[in-house]
Structure 1
Amino acid sequence: MTSRADIDVRPIDASEFPDWQRAMNIGFLHRPTLDEEILDARRAQFTPGRSTAAFDGGRCVATFRSFAQELTAVGGAAVPADAVTNVTVSPTHRRRGLLTRMMAQDLAAAKERGDVVATLIAAEYPIYGRYGFGPATWATEWTIDVPRAGLDPRWAGPEDGGRIDLVDAEDVRKHGPELHERLRRSQPGVVSRDELWWKVTTGAVRFHATFHEPYYVIYRSASGEVEGIAAYTADDKWGDGKQPLNTVRVKWLTGVTPAAERALWRYLCSIDWVVAVKTGYRAPDDLLPHFLPDPRAAAVTTHADWLWVRILDVVRALEARTYEAAGSLVLEVADAGGLAGGRYRLEASADGAGTCAPTTDNPDLSLDVAELATLWLGDESAVRLAALGRVREERAGAARQADALLRTSRRPWCPDIF
């Protein structure tokens, strides 16, 4: 077995990308070798210095990539983020500290660059807490039993003066980016999408050998403004009695108004032959079930952690968001990674603005940087974390005060996987 010291961990150059991609596929249990066309398409993701690998005897045995991203904080401000993805370690090289080395290099570079946070979607829960990440948003998927929902089967379109149209991929690339920008100005937890994202999701650039083109549908308000887009697929299943039993699977659905969301879900539940709609991952407090006359027709089939956040700059992170009430709180933040630890005073004003600075005052709450991440987007409760032993009150009532400052009326949501 090669010693840890003899395994080289470093950024790759462009010539090493095929070996890096092969190792990543092996780590994710995908077909090891890609067609040249697909490999060439994936080169568009390569940025010098942002793709890291571990090499043992010249063979790539671990992969790691990050890219520039923006994350919407509470209140609508966007903060620069280091988005972590494509993390694998080959099964022959587990438990040798390779992920720890790659993560340390990447987070140090992100800190130096001035990123406020790092983000990722965790394939497994226990891995990333030890690097200072905490689950900051959750995702819920419902399966709608369409016959039970109580909707009028004679429905033929929105009743608010708007309209729904089937469109092509080109229309999605035209209208989608601006609509997503509108969403992320108002929804904490949403991340930016670059031009490549829209090309990949609509098949203009193909990262997989088979691309199954979805159906695309747009909702326009009575004034003609695009306020919602959905992408979905459908299967072809019939019962023994020659009865249609088809399921619609929503790939993604963006609505910037409740009217748009209502109209799109109503459309998806009205398609002939469809008896079930799988919603894809939505915010846990999504309005969807209550758009149905019988909300019980939407059964939760998945509920799990989704976006994980690692705070790199406590001052900028806390000053980027807004607050629900006026108040002051001193936080003792522990960070084993040495990137964001310290004692900080947060001052929130009645207009929602916050200021933060290092302090030597006695702390009100003590917590790990990972727990601060779970609180930062407003989803988690400091009182709950204190009950779990993950936050320590240094002053009686401090956890309840933290909730009054930090928690939000609607839950954060990240609609993307990366």
Structure 2
Amino acid sequence: MSLEVRAIDESEFREWLLAKRAGFLMPPVIKDEDIADRRPHTDLNRAYGAFDRGRIVATFHSFPQRLSTVGGADLAADAVSAVTVAPTHRRRGLLSRMMAGDLARAKERGDACATLIAAEYPIYGRFGFGVASWTTEWVVDVTRSGLDRRTGEVEGGGRIDLSDGAEIRKVGPGLHRRLAAQRAGITDRTARGWDIGTGNSYPVEPWTEPFYAVYRSAAGEAEGYVAYTADDKWSDQKQPANTAKVRDLVAVTPAAERALWRYVCSVDWITRVRTGYRAPDDILPLLLPDPRAAQVLTHADMLWLRILDVPEVLEPRTYATEGGLVLDVRDAVGFAAGRYRLDASPEGGSCTPTTAAPDLVLDVAELATLALGDESAVRLAALGRVEEAAAGAAARADLLLRTSRRPWSMDVF
């Protein structure tokens, strides 16, 4: 019997949520309050299910997103989420059918790209997705870090104020937008996202109210904030052994970033700090007098990117220097296939179809790893994943495409 794949209707929303939870090994229980909270924020036209004799056996959801690129512009993205297939229905092409339909609709809408956070690494490359950013989490032994924890003085005349979720909802969105203008890979946060992140919504999952602190410059302007929780552990010798877990840290100036990390690492009774997911080139380890006090807990892929329109992705960004590059892009589906000439400069670029001889030949998934400046074309060539059709083209691509700070995608969606 053939399996039907289609958008769900209103009467199927509860079952769809249950199927999604089961797919992510979450208890398959839904309260009426869960439905009331989630339904207004779910576009059923973009919530798909696979049906076997009326039962939902796979789920898929997408929603509109803005993704920051190099230089501060943002891209229209099709954000993919809630991807599950029931263990009883694997290897039947259900994900392929749902993904193909969603990407085709995104291409028709004019989205530049699609994005997702992959639960498992091997799944999405076959659909043209490539890893556009990575993430790292450290745990800091602050007792061995060498930081002077005796003073709360902030450099340069700035100050740190304890705060609450209501203030973060006021100052946070503006700071987040400023950060997105500085750093590639940042995905936008909706008003609902800010509500969920600060506990101002129905608690679908257990909620622990965090501590908040805001950094203000000498002029009184908010330039960053941190949200963190702390456990309550003491040794048998009545010595504190508490761990702070950073949920969110946004800073738009180096002074704010340094001050907020120093603050978190100097809170009384805190002996360890878990940083949460940060950019792999975060300043924190080197901010410590002894960087060995920061040990890597996690280093993994974060944002996956699927380019749907090569010029729409490459033209809005800026480039480290001036130069030209002809890219021969292979795309089995055909969305982004073609040969393009990129003329780049620090002010921006132009990307147009061309019949000129190529400099680099690469799959669309490999172009995705280069598009936000994270990966090295030279390394991809060494791996055999990029073909250098012109001598030295990979090195030229690195000069144009790579960025001084790595892209950072801070939010899971």
Do both share a fold (TM > 0.5)?
A: yes
Which residue number in structure 2 is paired with residue 127 of structure 1?
A: 123
Q: Does 1:373 pair with 2:368?
A: yes
Which residue number in structure 2 is paired with residue 356 of structure 1?
A: 351
1:15 positional shift: 2.1
What letter corresponds to residue 357 of structure 2 in structure 1? N
Distance 1:162 1:84 in 2: 40
The one of 71, 86, 108 equivalent to 2:104 is 108
Write the mapping of 1:258-269 to structure 2, written as runs, cut at 5 A.
258-269=254-265
What letter corresponds to residue 395 of structure 2 in structure 1? R
Which residue number in structure 1 is paired with residue 315 of structure 2?
A: 319
1:39 positional shift: 2.4
1:352 positional shift: 3.6
- Cα deviation per residue 1:62-119 (whole Å; 9 max; x = unaligned)? 1111111101111111110001111111111111110000000110111111100111
Write the mapping of 1:15-414 to structure 2, written as runs, cut at 5 A.
15-349=11-345, 351-414=346-409
Distance 1:364 1:182 in 2: 36
| Structure 2 unmatched runs, 5+ | none
- Cα deviation per residue 1:245-277 (whole Å; 9 max; x = unaligned)? 110000110000111111111111111111100
What letter corresponds to residue 310 of structure 2 in structure 1? V
Contact 1:331 1:344 in 2 (8 A): yes
How big is the alpha-carbon RMSD for the aligned residues of Structure 1 and Structure 2? Answer: 1.1
1:308 positional shift: 0.6
- Cα deviation per residue 1:24-60 (whole Å; 9 max; x = unaligned)? 0000000101221122212133113111111111111
Distance 1:377 1:205 in 2: 33
Q: Does 1:416 pair with 2:411?
A: yes
Provide the secondary structure at the position in 2 that maps to 1:324: coil
| Structure 1 unmatched runs, 5+ | none
What letter corresponds to residue 415 of structure 1 in structure 2? M
User: More deviation in 204-213 or 362-371?
Assistant: 204-213
What letter corresponds to residue 308 of structure 2 in structure 1? L
1:14 positional shift: 2.3
1:209 positional shift: 4.2
Contact 1:157 1:267 in 2 (8 A): no
* Distance change >3 Å, CA 343–CA 207, structure 1 → 2: farther
Distance 2:385 2:203 in 1: 40
Distance 1:15 1:218 in 2: 44
What letter corresponds to residue 101 of structure 1 in structure 2? R
User: More deviation in 101-110 or 48-57?
Assistant: 48-57
Distance 1:246 1:155 in 2: 19
Provide the secondary structure at the position in 2 that maps to 1:100: helix
TM-score normalised to structure 2 length: 0.98
Distance 1:205 1:7 in 2: 37
1:178 positional shift: 0.7
Provide the secondary structure at the position in 1 that maps to 2:273: strand
Q: Percent of aligned positions with the same letter in both sequences?
A: 62
- Number of residues paired by the alignment? 413
TM-score normalised to structure 1 length: 0.97
Provide the secondary structure at the position in 2 that maps to 1:43: helix
1:207 positional shift: 4.7
